[in-house]
Each structure stands twice: as structure tokens, then as C-alpha cells.
Amino acid sequence: MFERKRKPGSRAAEALRLVSVSKVYGTGDGAVTALDGVTLSLPTGSFTAVMGPSGSGKSTLLQCAAGLDRPDRGQVVVDGEEMSGGGEAALTRFRRERIGFVFQQYNLLPTLTVEENTALPLRLAGRRADRENIRAVLTRVGLGERLGHLPDQLSGGQRQRVAIARALVTRPGVIFADEPTGALDTRSAREVLGLLKETVRLHGSTVVLVTHDPVAASYADSVLFLADGRLAGHLSAPTAEAVAERMTHLGGRVAARHADNGPLMEV
């Protein structure tokens, strides 16, 4: 694990691969199977949305794929590196250097400027913070004139743009975005989604977006659907209407299977 040193900016042909990945929480009668033998492959330079009903496993999929949690069984490969084994320190270093994160909560440090927040992953990874590169990334996300601003001087949409710049600055193999527009108004959400799409189209980044919103999913190249911890379908060139229809059908199937089992746990 993590034996090869890839040059910054270089990419494996396959950005993400999961092979028979399973994850169970709890034991005995209280055990919940969050992922059940999931296998998938995403090429470099793709924008993929992951959707599913409550309890489908989409949050656990992101956590296992991004190295935030470890699967009980199976293999996870990110940017050509196998992640399922190895020590915690090596895994943490890999996440800092090769994976980008964008969450619903911006997670910006309030006492740091836009430029300083963006540089933080480089400093944590022990890498030199190239100011020219940082400013170039911030210019790409439309914040070239906000370098010295603090987070509380920005709108919600601008704060999420800082979070995206922070995810981009290390040139990661994959960017995982977990409900990144959940706290934004419609206009800001569209701007952020357009920025993620542009990052893929113009710069060859790979984005995995977990969302419950069919409109957000329609910005992706394709949508993967999960149900009961298993892959339950795939949609290429999605539209919001097609995604919503698929989710309605999928939700009905899941509800029918679980009608007598009480509410589902979000996993």
C-alpha cells in the first residue's frame, strides 16, 4: 500500500475502483449491512453522482472510497493506489495529498483568510505553499479578488468556492463532494455545481458527488443508484426528470421491502 510515488498532477487511467466492498455496522440481531459486495470502476476525468433512498449506503460508500472508514471486506483503489490495508498514518497522509473533500459544511477556519484556508492542505501535508498556484486556483473559482477576506466576509456560495479551491490545490486524484449544495440557495447551488462540472471538463479532475437532489445529479456525466447497500442501476447523460423518476421507482421498491421493518438507518 502507498509504495509508489506519483508525480504531482499525473493520473492513473482509473480514478476509483471498488471490488466486492462490504461494510457492516453492529453485531448479531442489531447488525446493519451498509454495503454489500459493491463493485464499480470510475475513469479519470469523470463526474459521477451517487444517489439512493435513505439507508441505501451512499454515505458509507463515500467514506470507504475516500479512506474515511475501512471496509470489512473488499478492495478500494484510488488513483492507482490500493487503500484497504496499511497503517493509519499512511492513510491519513494519502488522504491529504491525493484526495480532495467538499462537504455541506464549509469547514473553513474563521481566523484564516481565503488564501490561508486554501493553502491549509498543503501545509498539513508538509508541502510548500506555492502562492502563485494558490492564487491561480482561487482565480479559477472566481475568488481572485477575495484573497485577504475572512470567511465571515463571504456569502455561503463564496465559502463553498473556497472549499472547492482547497480541495483542488493539492491536485488530488479524486474529489469527493458530500451534499455540497445542501446549505446553499438555488443560485449559489447552480454556480457551485457548474464549477465542479467545469473542473472536470477543463482540468481533467475526477468528482464523485453524493446527493439527494436530482437537479444536482443532472450536472454529472452519470449517476449510480444504491439500494440496500448494493448497486441498483446506472444512468448516463442524466436529466433531473429522469433521475427523479428513477429515484421514485427505486424508493417505492425499497419501501415495499421494508414496510414491516420500521424506519431505515441512514448509512
Question: Can you give the pLDDT at residue 6?
Answer: 52
Q: Which domains does the chain have, with CATH numbers?
A: 14-257 (3.40.50.300)
Which is nearest to 100 in space by CA: 118, 115, 114, 82? 118
Residues in the chain where the model's pLDDT stays below 70: 1-11, 84-85, 253-267
Question: Can you give the pLDDT at residue 125?
Answer: 82
Q: How many CB atoms neighbour CB 106 within 10 A?
A: 20
Look up the pTM and report it: 0.88
Question: Can you give the pLDDT at residue 255?
Answer: 56
CB 16 within 8 A of CB 10: no
Q: Give pLDDT tens digits for 8-53.
A: 555 678 999 999 999 999 998 889 999 999 999 999 999 999 999 9
Q: For residue 228, what is its C-alpha cell?
A: 440496500
Question: Can you give the pLDDT at residue 20?
Answer: 98
Question: Can you give the pLDDT at residue 57?
Answer: 95
Q: What sign for the dihedral angle of Cα 18, 19, 20, 21?
A: negative
Question: Can you give the pLDDT at residue 4?
Answer: 47
How many residues appear in the chain?
267
Taking the C-alpha atoms of residue 135 and residue 145, their distance in angstroms, rounded to an integer, is 9
Residue 105 is classified by DSSP as S
Q: How many CB atoms neighbour CB 152 within 10 A?
A: 8
Q: What sign for the dihedral angle of Cα 226, 168, 151, 125?
A: positive
CB 159 within 8 A of CB 148: no
